[in-house]
Chains A and B, each alone.
Chain A
Amino acid sequence: MDRGLSKLGRRIKPRFLIGSGLIVVAIAYLIISSIRSTSEYYLTVPEVSARATELRGQSLRIAGRVKPGTIAWDPSTLTLRFAIYPIPPAANSTAANDSIKPVAVDEAPSFSIVSQGEPKPDMFAPNRDVIVEGKLEPDGTIAATQVMTSCPSKYRPAGAK
């Protein structure tokens, strides 16, 4: 109705804008500073092997596939050792399952993983896709803080829609 009276309709007093602005700035600062301090690289096996020297000592998340014949599990000390190799490209589709042939596993780059003090994940098995969280050690192995198995194809997420 009074379109001409106040052009922008700024009826909130300036000091409220200041208060609101401060809150917005505080939230933005929290987000930016937290992103800096908590971010991790999420990489695939070939990416890690290509940049191994630069990533040494960094926190990483690596997606890979468990290499058959490399698994050693010692239940009394909860030590799990295995190696991961790259996930073949086709395996990303919904059709991914356990029957994919390990093509040329031996030539592909791989990393040895050592996980200590954690139980073996339920679905851990040769040729399963896993996400490993941990640090790249100077000797090229990865000291895992967490090993997560991704679920076979039929899995629907918790909030599935």
Chain B
Amino acid sequence: MPDLGKLCLLVALILAVYSIFANVYGARRGRGDFILSGRHALWAMCAMVTIAVIALWNGLLRSDFTLEYVASYSSTTLPTVYKFTSLWGGQQGSLLFWTWLLSIFTSIAAFQNRRRNPDTAPYALAVMAGVAIFFLFMLNFITRPFDLISPVPIEGSDLNPLLQNYWMAIHPPSLYTGYVSSTIPFAFGAAALITAKLDDSWIRSTRRWAIFSWFFLTLGNMFGARWAYEVLGWGGYWAWDPVENAAFMPWLVMTAYLHSVMIQERKDMLKVWNLALIGLAFSLTLFGTFITRSGVISSVHSFTQSGLGPYFLAFLIAIVTCYTALLIWRSPDLRSPAEFESYLSREAAFLFNNLVLVGIAFAVFWGTIFPVLSEWVRGVKITVGPPFFNRVNGPLALALIFLMGVGPLIAWRRTTADRLLRSFAAPVILGVSAGLVAILSGIHEWYAATGFSLAAFVLGTIIVEFRRGVSARRHMVSEPPARALVNLVAKNNRRYGGYIIHIGVLAAFVGIIGSSFFKVEVKKSVAIGESFTIGSFSLKYLGLDQHENAHLEQATARLAMMHDGREVTVINPAKLFYKRQQQPATAVAIRSTPFADLYVVLAGLDDNGNRATFEVFLTPLVFWLWAGGLLMAMGTVVVMWPNVRERAAIAVAIGRSRAEEYAGEAASGGGR
């Protein structure tokens, strides 16, 4: 099986190289047979990588310790589920997993475009094959998943305990899916530049891929935050660590991209900007891999260094250079006929939202690489921690939320003062009163009060939008309100799905404000029978249960949780000790309500468990962060839902671009 895996990876590499040649040659010479064979090569490559993945899974599930990878990241006592997820528990496996996803997505894109985009698709597929070549090269020659180990160990050294968690089972695949699927819009953008077919057909053909990528980036970040919250036991969910930033930056840029392409679709503007954004989003996925793998930037949770850094850096530089050169080369053809007319227009709001999103991404980037830069330039390593990111991104987040409320309510091109007043009167009143309520109820931090007020304002604008739509429907086709609402969303899923996502962002924003400004922390060491208080809760240490199996030891504290003098429940924070890796871990007890989370960590045991140290956090509103994530995901599903009208629009657009092409060819009289 290992030999088979190895062989398959080599064949996959050859197929990818062949596919580039066949696609490009076929497209240049107009040889349909080569294009066809290039496509088939990609499908065969996907099959080869799939077999390699199955081979590695087989090794993991059978605990085949002749494989170095299995010996390093698995063990006989590891629960089966985690043997399965060990595929992405280590470096070689996660690269293989990445390559697998890439080959699957490439195959799907090849299938979707077997008739569509005949001019650009071969080049786009060649770009995807090029990316695949890089990863396959790494897997074949640099970091091989099927390397053998000798002497063969009797037992593996197990998966890191922190990764033995169900969030870890779903967080990396989500993030990788988000990362990898950004390759497809990128490849089509590059193909548009190569072939000079610079209308918005590349955007339309890959719109669903871009949203798909955004969906999984959102989930990946949310799952990662949730994992940090539940597993790491420090009461927070986001620490602005380089590893987290690496996942956050592509999300920001992809968000900007999804908004600015709307301007191109509507107004035929910002063509260069859109192509630049998708290039940036894709580059940032590689950059993220580079910084987490190279050890260039020290992160609290990535002390691992590996030799992969230079390869990723070289690939990243090659991609950025080629793509920038293409953009510059084509820039004379990318000027747009339309122009911005008024600050009070939706495209202006979108433009500013883009600047702010990219600004946040740049700030995050700058803060992440600052230690490296300062070391190069001044010879001293200077770090910037969470205070930097919070100070910069706090005000920018407010601006972004504000624009999120304004954008959808103002019209394209320009808006009159009268219309503005009608649209915004109710939301402004709602926002101002929410701000007043916040201040009167004793919230003195200006940021929090402003944030709550803005969130209420934006929620108001979204409600106004839904009300408008519903009443318009009810005028046209007398429907009961609930029915009208459902039909409204179903018929205009892109628009109203977008609003649902916005509501999710608001909820998450409120959760972030609540947890950043109003978190209370108590650290206390108590003997059995003693109790202590946090906020209106009181906790009494009842005792300790200990048990042990072949895989781990566990010490579970029993704490009676009292609220306003009444016992609510007994909670059980625990400390685990994983035997193979000789590593402790914590199991946090979380009691969550929409008002606040009570988060209890068993931080230490002394005196045989007669004394225990607890670290307790009372975090208001953090529930809404997770609820917001869920809403964002649901809204994205609504947006992605197949829509008959949109299909028709795509068909028309493709038809139109073909017609233009014929007209163009006729006019230029033969061309090059």
Is B384 touching A24 in the complex (CB atoms < 8 A)?
A: no
Which A residues from 127 to 161 make CB contacts under 8 A with B? 129, 131, 148, 150-161
Residue of A3, A12, A156 near B160 (CB, 8 A) is A156
Closest CB in chain A relative to B229 CB, distance in Å: 12
Is A75 touching B525 in the complex (CB atoms < 8 A)?
A: yes
A31-B363 contact in complex given A11-B339, A154-B72, C-beta closer than 8 Å: yes
Closest CB in chain A relative to B312 CB, distance in Å: 9
Is B385 touching A38 in the complex (CB atoms < 8 A)?
A: yes
Closest CB in chain B relative to A40 CB, distance in Å: 5
In the bound complex, how far is the Cα of B339 from the Cα of A40, in angstroms? 45
Is B340 touching A12 in the complex (CB atoms < 8 A)?
A: yes
Is B300 touching A16 in the complex (CB atoms < 8 A)?
A: no
- Which residues of chain A come closer than 8 Å to B289, judged between CB atoms? 161
Known pairs A38-B387, A119-B604, A159-B175 / 11 extra A-B pairs, C-beta < 8 Å: A6-B335, A16-B348, A41-B383, A78-B525, A119-B601, A122-B584, A151-B160, A152-B581, A157-B302, A161-B94, A161-B293
In the bound complex, how far is the Cα of B611 from the Cα of A131, in angstroms? 27
- Is there a chain A Cβ closer than 8 Å to B76's Cβ? no
Residue of B90, B352, B604 near A19 (CB, 8 A) is B352
Which B residues from 552 to 598 make CB contacts under 8 A with A? 575, 581, 583-586
- Which residues of chain A come closer than 8 Å to B384, judged between CB atoms? 34-35, 38-40
A156-B227 contact in complex given A11-B339, A119-B523, A161-B289, C-beta closer than 8 Å: no
In the bound complex, how far is the Cα of B91 from the Cα of A142, in angstroms? 37
Is B359 touching A24 in the complex (CB atoms < 8 A)?
A: yes
Instruction: Rank and list the top 8 A-B pairs by shortest CB-CB distance, nearest first.
Output: A119-B603, A9-B335, A157-B302, A27-B359, A42-B381, A38-B388, A34-B391, A38-B387
- Which residues of chain B come closer than 8 Å to A43, judged between CB atoms? 380-381
Is B304 touching A156 in the complex (CB atoms < 8 A)?
A: yes
20 pairs, CB–CB < 8 Å, chain A vs chain B? A6-B335, A34-B392, A35-B370, A37-B391, A38-B384, A39-B370, A39-B383, A42-B371, A61-B383, A75-B613, A119-B604, A120-B613, A150-B300, A151-B160, A151-B301, A155-B160, A156-B94, A156-B304, A160-B89, A160-B90
- Which residues of chain A come closer than 8 Å to B352, judged between CB atoms? 19-20, 23
- Which residues of chain A come closer than 8 Å to B340, judged between CB atoms? 12-13, 16
0/1 per residue, B330-356, Cβ < 8 Å to A? Answer: 011011111110010000100110011
Closest CB in chain B relative to A149 CB, distance in Å: 9
- Is there a chain A Cβ closer than 8 Å to B125's Cβ? no
Is A120 touching B244 in the complex (CB atoms < 8 A)?
A: no
Is B382 touching A41 in the complex (CB atoms < 8 A)?
A: yes
Is B525 touching A161 in the complex (CB atoms < 8 A)?
A: no
0/1 per residue, A1-18, Cβ < 8 Å to B? Answer: 001001001011101100
- Which residues of chain A come closer than 8 Å to B337, judged between CB atoms? 11
A158-B224 contact in complex given A13-B339, A61-B383, A76-B525, C-beta closer than 8 Å: yes
0/1 per residue, A100-138, Cβ < 8 Å to B? Answer: 000000000000000001111011000001010000000
Please report the total number of B residues contacting A with Cβ < 8 Å: 92
In the bound complex, how far is the Cα of B343 from the Cα of A20, in angstroms? 11
0/1 per residue, B511-551, Cβ < 8 Å to A? Answer: 00000000000010100000000000000000000000000
- Which residues of chain A come closer than 8 Å to B336, judged between CB atoms? 9, 11
- Which residues of chain B come closer than 8 Å to A118, judged between CB atoms? 523
- Which residues of chain B come closer than 8 Å to A150, judged between CB atoms? 300, 303
Residue of A9, A15, A19, A40 near B382 (CB, 8 A) is A40
Residue of A11, A15, A77, A131 near B335 (CB, 8 A) is A11
A-B contacts counted at CB < 8 A amount to: 199
In the bound complex, how far is the Cα of B633 from the Cα of A72, in angstroms? 49
In the bound complex, how far is the Cα of B332 from the Cα of A6, in angstroms? 10
Is A41 touching B380 in the complex (CB atoms < 8 A)?
A: yes
- Which residues of chain A come closer than 8 Å to B523, judged between CB atoms? 78, 117-119
Q: What is the chain B residue whose CB lies nearest that of A77? A: B525
0/1 per residue, B297-310, Cβ < 8 Å to A? Answer: 01111111110000
- Is there a chain A Cβ closer than 8 Å to B284's Cβ? no
- Which residues of chain B come closer than 8 Å to A3, judged between CB atoms? 332
- Which residues of chain A come closer than 8 Å to B179, judged between CB atoms? 161
In the bound complex, how far is the Cα of B351 from the Cα of A61, in angstroms? 40
- Is there a chain B Cβ closer than 8 Å to A71's Cβ? no
- Is there a chain A Cβ closer than 8 Å to B133's Cβ? no
- Is there a chain A Cβ closer than 8 Å to B19's Cβ? no
- Is there a chain A Cβ closer than 8 Å to B395's Cβ? yes
Is A157 touching B383 in the complex (CB atoms < 8 A)?
A: no
- Is there a chain B Cβ closer than 8 Å to A30's Cβ? yes
- Which residues of chain B come closer than 8 Å to A34, judged between CB atoms? 384, 387-388, 391-392
Is A157 touching B603 in the complex (CB atoms < 8 A)?
A: no
Is A120 touching B604 in the complex (CB atoms < 8 A)?
A: yes
Is A161 touching B288 in the complex (CB atoms < 8 A)?
A: yes
- Is there a chain A Cβ closer than 8 Å to B6's Cβ? no
Closest CB in chain A relative to B601 CB, distance in Å: 8
- Is there a chain B Cβ closer than 8 Å to A49's Cβ? no
Closest CB in chain A relative to B480 CB, distance in Å: 45
A159-B525 contact in complex given A38-B391, A40-B383, C-beta closer than 8 Å: no
Give the residue among A6, A23, A27, A93 with the most B Cβ atoms within 10 A. A27
Q: What is the chain A residue whose CB lies nearest that of B220? A: A159
- Which residues of chain B come closer than 8 Å to A131, judged between CB atoms? 300
Is B388 touching A160 in the complex (CB atoms < 8 A)?
A: no
Is B388 touching A39 in the complex (CB atoms < 8 A)?
A: yes
Is A161 touching B95 in the complex (CB atoms < 8 A)?
A: yes
- Is there a chain B Cβ closer than 8 Å to A70's Cβ? no
- Is there a chain A Cβ closer than 8 Å to B463's Cβ? no
- Is there a chain A Cβ closer than 8 Å to B228's Cβ? yes
- Is there a chain B Cβ closer than 8 Å to A53's Cβ? no
Closest CB in chain A relative to B95 CB, distance in Å: 7
In the bound complex, how far is the Cα of B585 from the Cα of A151, in angstroms? 12
Residue of B157, B335, B525 near A154 (CB, 8 A) is B157
- Which residues of chain A come closer than 8 Å to B89, judged between CB atoms? 156, 160
Which B residues from 167 to 190 make CB contacts under 8 A with A? 171-172, 175-176, 179
In the bound complex, how far is the Cα of B337 from the Cα of A122, in angstroms? 62
Which B residues from 357 to 416 make CB contacts under 8 A with A? 359, 362-363, 366-367, 370-371, 374, 380-385, 387-388, 391-392, 395-396
- Which residues of chain A come closer than 8 Å to B293, judged between CB atoms? 161
- Is there a chain A Cβ closer than 8 Å to B479's Cβ? no
- Which residues of chain A come closer than 8 Å to B343, judged between CB atoms? 15-16, 19
Is A158 touching B301 in the complex (CB atoms < 8 A)?
A: yes
A154-B584 contact in complex given A34-B391, A96-B303, A161-B176, C-beta closer than 8 Å: no
- Which residues of chain B come closer than 8 Å to A160, judged between CB atoms? 88-91, 94, 172, 243, 292, 302
Closest CB in chain A relative to B462 CB, distance in Å: 24
